[in-house]
């Protein structure tokens, strides 16, 4: 109990200290509010799609439509994310997404939801690399792990509240109301990021458009640690991509429930994520566990992959909501730690003038592999059940983590 209270007090101290930096505070609030709207909007998409079709492939189709921008939008995003003022890109992305979700509230055809999901994710791809590249400029040196942990802690609260709010709105008023709430969240975000402090980045000689796009690839290629992380994350995406859309199928098969039950599971993820993010934000910067420049840091990231697989395999056979929520809370803690580890490593290893392109490239690598994972996993789930696919996926995660541990030693020789 004393440890919990000490960690809690330390966490509150970190919140006060980091949020005292005005630009970091505004960027944090804006991204958290828009993330809340995203969770509400995703439930709205599910409600809208299922109102037109009960086929599980339709649910998977929403996920695929949000992954495809990784293939189509990469060249444009990579070109502009480090060429233009990232503060302005954040505002543009927010305003366009607000307009798109207002349009979604009035869409009447199933295919329109897939199109709107695709286009909105194109602008999310513009927003996220810009935010991730900008954030280190507003964080005290050596405290990216703490700042990312803090943000993930707040996102975990969002994970708890967002699906519940979306479910209540979609169920009591209609999915149109949930879309409008999501649109409003982007307007709040645009207001918060509209007055960030300017950032000075070392001037880079302008090259041809293609060479600028390839700048992120060259940066990764020249860094053994970044190459390792990209390869690890690519394989990880291929293994876990099917898991997210299958949760809804698993709820139906193992629990006999529906979208509201899935919402409770995601709330449990939020609880675990809050615990994990809060703990990471209190770690002293001289004990940083995910330093991408060290063998210890890379190994810890691989270990998190294996632990994630263990949790997935424990989750797969559960047949009660309580047991599922308990395991999912553990999943949230591990998943949050994994996300913080990868984000921090990328931010530390990437030069500021190329950071946005590195994050764009990361999104581009993840998107197609998740689509492939869904394309391979969905037929298997229909044939053998979601539980079997979760067990195989979890086992592959464990194998990937074990290989990654030994692989890291070879990379860092």
Identify the pLDDT of residue 14: 65
Pull the structure tokens for residue 345: 């490593």
Mean pLDDT throughout 89-109?
87
Residue 207 pLDDT > 70, yes or no? no
Q: Is 200 left (phi over 0), alpha (psi -120 to 50) or beta?
A: beta
Identify the pLDDT of residue 99: 93
Name the pLDDT band for 200 (thresholds 50, 70, 90): low
Place of tokens 């270990």: 303
pTM: 0.71
Which of 102-111, 181-190, 339-348 ranks highest by mean pLDDT?
A: 181-190
Which tens digit of pLDDT belongs to each residue from 12-38?
Answer: 666 666 666 788 888 888 888 888 887
Residue 6 pLDDT > 70, yes or no? no
Give 268 or 363, the one with higher predicted confidence: 268
Residue 202 pLDDT > 70, yes or no? no
Nearest to 254 by CA among 263, 244, 262, 242: 262
Residue 217 pLDDT > 90, yes or no? no
Nearest to 249 by CA among 115, 54, 68: 54
Residue 160 pLDDT > 90, yes or no? no
Name the pLDDT band for 396 (thresholds 50, 70, 90): very high
Name the pLDDT band for 64 (thresholds 50, 70, 90): low
Identify the pLDDT of residue 317: 92
Identify the pLDDT of residue 377: 85
Mean pLDDT throughout 119-132?
81
Name the pLDDT band for 215 (thresholds 50, 70, 90): low
Name the pLDDT band for 7 (thresholds 50, 70, 90): low
On whether the CB atoms of residues 88 and 190 are closer than 8 A, the answer is no
Residue 263 pLDDT > 90, yes or no? no
Mean pLDDT throughout 45-57?
67
Which tens digit of pLDDT belongs to each residue from 313-335?
Answer: 999 999 888 898 899 888 888 88
Which CATH architecture is the domain 2-194+210-411 placed in? Answer: Up-down Bundle (1.20)
The percent of residues above 90 in pLDDT, for the chain, comes to 11
On whether the CB atoms of residues 57 and 378 are closer than 8 A, the answer is yes
Mean pLDDT throughout 122-150?
78
Name the pLDDT band for 166 (thresholds 50, 70, 90): confident
What does the domain layout of the chain look like in residue ranges? 2-194+210-411
Which tens digit of pLDDT belongs to each residue from 355-383?
Answer: 777 777 777 777 778 878 888 887 888 88
Mean pLDDT throughout 231-259?
83
């Amino acid at each position: 109990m004393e440890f919990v209270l000490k960690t809690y007090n330390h966490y509150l101290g970190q919140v006060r200290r980091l949020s005292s930096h005005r630009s970091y505070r505004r960027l944090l609030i804006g991204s958290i509010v828009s993330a809340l709207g995203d969770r509400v909007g995703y439930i709205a998409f599910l409600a809208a799609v299922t109102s037109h079709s009960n086929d599980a492939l339709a649910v998977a189709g929403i996920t695929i439509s949000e992954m495809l921008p990784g293939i189509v939008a990469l060249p444009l995003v990579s070109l502009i994310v480090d060429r233009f003022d990232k503060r302005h890109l954040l505002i543009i992305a927010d305003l366009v997404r607000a307009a798109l979700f207002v349009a979604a509230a009035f869409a009447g055809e199933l295919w329109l939801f897939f199109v709107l999901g695709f286009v909105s994710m194109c602008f999310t791809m513009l927003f996220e690399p810009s935010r991730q590249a900008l954030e280190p400029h507003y964080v005290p040196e050596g405290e990216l792990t703490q700042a990312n942990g803090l943000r993930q802690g707040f996102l975990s609260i969002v994970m708890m509240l967002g699906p519940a709010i979306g479910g209540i709105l979609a169920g009591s008023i209609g999915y149109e109301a949930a879309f409008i709430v999501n649109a409003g969240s982007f307007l709040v975000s645009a207001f918060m990021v509209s007055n960030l402090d300017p950032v000075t980045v070392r001037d880079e000689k302008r090259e041809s458009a293609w060479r600028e796009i390839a700048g992120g690839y060259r940066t990764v290629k020249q860094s053994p640690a970044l190459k390792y992380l990209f390869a690890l994350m690519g394989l990880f995406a291929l293994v876990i991509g099917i898991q997210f859309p299958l949760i809804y199928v698993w709820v139906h098969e193992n629990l006999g429930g529906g979208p509201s039950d899935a919402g409770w599971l995601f709330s449990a993820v939020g609880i675990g994520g809050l615990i994990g993010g809060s703990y990471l934000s209190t770690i002293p910067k001289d004990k940083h566990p995910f330093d991408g420049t060290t063998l210890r840091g890379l190994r810890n990231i691989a270990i998190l992959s294996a632990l994630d697989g263990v949790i997935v395999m424990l989750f797969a056979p559960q047949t009660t909501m309580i047991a599922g929520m308990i395991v999912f809370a553990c999943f949230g803690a591990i998943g949050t730690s994994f996300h913080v580890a990868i984000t921090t490593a990328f931010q530390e290893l990437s030069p500021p003038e190329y950071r946005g392109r590195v994050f764009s490239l990361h999104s581009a690598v993840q998107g197609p592999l998740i689509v492939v994972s869904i394309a391979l996993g969905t037929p298997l789930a229909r044939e053998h059940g979601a539980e079997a696919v979760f067990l195989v996926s979890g086992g592959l995660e464990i194998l990937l983590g074990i290989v990654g541990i030994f692989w890291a030693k070879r990379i860092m020789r």
